[in-house]
Amino acid sequence: MSEYYNYIKSLHLIFVITWFAGLFYIPRLFIYHIEANTKPSPEKEILSKQLKLMAKRLWYIITWPSAVLAVVFAIWLLVIYPGWLSQPWMHVKLGFVVVLILYHLKNHQIFKKFQRDDIQYTSKFMRIWNEGATLILFAIVFLVILKSSFNWIFGVIGIIVLGILLMLGIKLYKKIRSKNPEA
């Protein structure tokens, strides 16, 4: 079975990448939907219909299948190399994967509401929410690459600093957008 390791790992990585692509883009579609709701008719209805269709295709054709396949290939890798489960870095990684799955499920809940035009979020909240996948991605990639050489203190500080930088970026974008609404 280990002769297939590189193929399985490659497929796992491909589906992780496409899963994250969906998780990066779905909140952007939510933001566009929120902003479309402020437009006058008929523009509001036209945009809403198009954004719901785009979100539906992204969510069910790319994001969900990618999530399932990424997990399936990850489990397969753990079956091939069960010793990884005894590694402390793998425990932390799996913790982040659980957070990623919870983030995905929350996006699904938001998606279902938006499909019904039940919009309960602001575009500012959704811009911040959009960075959740980025933080999880950084944490998992650094953890997997650095493994046991990963200094937990610097790792935690790095994720906090990244979070602060992302929030500052959102504030800067808001300031630029308020001066130029087309940005």
Average pLDDT per consecutive 10 residues, the chain (183 residues; last block may be shorter)? 88 98 97 95 95 98 98 96 89 91 98 94 91 89 75 69 81 79 67
Question: Is there a cis peptide before residue 82, judged by omega within 30 degrees of 0?
Answer: no
The reported pLDDT for the residue numbered 152 is 59
CA distance 107 to 109: 5
For the chain, counts of helices (H) and of strands (E)? 7, 0
**Matching residue, tokens 């992204």:** 58
The reported pLDDT for the residue numbered 161 is 81
The reported pLDDT for the residue numbered 11 is 97
Closest to 34 (Cα-Cα) out of 122, 108, 125: 122
What 3-state DSSP class applies to 53?
helix
Contact by Cβ (8 Å): 48, 137:
no
pTM metric for this prediction: 0.84
The reported pLDDT for the residue numbered 151 is 65
The reported pLDDT for the residue numbered 45 is 95
Q: Would you list which residues are annotated within the binding site?
A: 12, 93
Q: Would you list which residues are annotated within the binding site for heme?
A: 12, 93
Q: How many domains, in total, are found in the chain? A: 1
The reported pLDDT for the residue numbered 48 is 95
Task: List the domain range (segments joined by +) for residue 14.
Answer: 2-179
Residues 6+ positions from 58 with CB-CB distance below 8 Å: 22, 25, 26, 29
